[in-house]
Amino acid sequence: AQSVTQPDIHITVSEGASLELRCNYSYGATPYLFWYVQSPGQGLQLLLKYFSGDTLVQGIKGFEAEFKRSQSSFNLRKPSVHWSDAAEYFCAVGVAGTGRRALTFGSGTRLQVQP
Amino acid sequence: GAVVSQHPSWVICKSGTSVKIECRSLDFQATTMFWYRQFPKQSLMLMATSNEGSKATYEQGVEKDKFLINHASLTLSTLTVTSAHPEDSSFYICSAVTSGGRTDTQYFGPGTRLTVL
């Protein structure tokens, strides 16, 4: 079965600093990978997704992620964090070709932004 | 595009009563919708997969008689928590899948917070 690990439970960065949130997945074949953001008491908003092709994926709000097959990673990055980016971030993996379309989520990383 | 709504956004009920939560895809048709449950400061746990016109598929450990799912149309799925108890208090989130050929993207609703007294 597939699994997703987000090693960092909580990260604090200063506004304007760069950000990298880590995500590692476990799956035998090429997965579909997603990053979602959740503000307190809200649902999830899709930031970006990777299905195939270019391993560097651009998303909304200035986020990007890079798929590295050799490291089984899909880390999320942003060059300059804004205070409004404070939220919970979830990495998720979907499985291709099995008919199972549900996502498996990581445990999440809470981002705090200091002024 | 790809907007998913949930109603109600929050509900408080007495123990023993039933609560229905609606999930709608507003601008697309979704043959598949998912229901997740999220406890405070935790990740989303899949409860069931809802397919239009057929019975829902429940994850292991989820009581299908307690969490009734109906997917009556391509834009609406409902989750009914029957005989709710305080341990059912949680944040329930649905998602709907758009199909882009061989790839699918899930779009999530804003969630429903259920509090059972």
Query: pLDDT tens digits for A82-106?
Result: 999 999 999 999 865 555 567 889 9
Question: How many C-beta neighbours within 10 Å does residue A47 have?
Answer: 22
How confident is the model at residue A71, as a pLDDT? 93
Test the B interface: residue of A88, A103, A111 with most B CBs within 10 Å: A103
Closest CB from B42, B93, B97 relative to A101: B97
| A49–B111 C-beta distance less than 8 A | no
Radius of gyration of chain A (CA): 14
Reply yes or no on whether the pLDDT at B100 is more than 70. Answer: no
- pLDDT average, residue stretch B17-42: 90
pLDDT tens-digit map of A23-76:
999 876 778 899 999 988 788 899 999 988 889 999 999 999 999 999 999 999
Radius of gyration of chain B (CA): 14
Question: How many C-beta neighbours within 10 Å does residue A35 have?
Answer: 26
Closest CB from B43, B46, B102 relative to A102: B46
DSSP H/E element including A65: strand A64-68
